[in-house]
Amino acid sequence: MKTYIALFRGINVGGKNILPMKDLVGLLEGMGCEKVRTYIQSGNVVFQHKKKHKIKLASEISAKILDAHGFDPKVLLLDLSDLRDAVDNNPFETKVGKALHFFFLESVPKKPDLEKLTAVKTSTEKFELINNVFYLYAPDGIGRSKLAAKVEQCLGVPVTARNWNTVSKLVSMVDS
């Protein structure tokens, strides 16, 4: 069995694409996932599965949700090494929960427009792209950050973001 971390994009946000975590757990267990554990309602799941192909499994999970709940969420699957590499490669010393953000990318961007991101960042924001993770330190928050709003557009690949609090919780769930 292989351990996976599923990051769902766009569920239970703003009253749209509602998927209770107990329903998600049941759906995943019905697909052969074991030791399924969730963290907060925005779609963070740790589980084990015998399949080794992440992209295919992510697609199957998304299709199952579409069949059962009528919407097709983006599902990004990480394995243990993906999660550990993301944490280990964090270029920022700070571990401030809501200031440090990890944007997990579906793939490594071929032509990221980092100049455009630099042009819109505030004086307190810092960012770095390392492989398939975009790191953002935003001590003033990302709610109104023009940089955060343009990450996906400027990188040219689908992303889903988690703050340090969530990433560190997922690490502890994997380690327990």
**Structural domains of the chain sorted by starting position, each given as residue range(s) with its CATH number in brackets:** 2-80 (3.30.70.1280), 89-175 (3.30.70)
Query: Residue 157, SS3?
Result: coil
Q: What's the confidence (pLDDT) of residue 10?
A: 80
Q: What's the confidence (pLDDT) of residue 164?
A: 95
Task: Encode burial over 155-167: b for 16+ CB neighbours within 10 A, e otherwise.
Answer: bebebbbbbbebb
Q: What's the confidence (pLDDT) of residue 16?
A: 83
* Residue 14 scores a pLDDT above 90: no
Tokens 């997990």 belong to residue: 104
Query: Residue 72, SS3?
Result: coil
Contact 34, 2 (CB under 8 A): no
What's the pTM?
Answer: 0.94
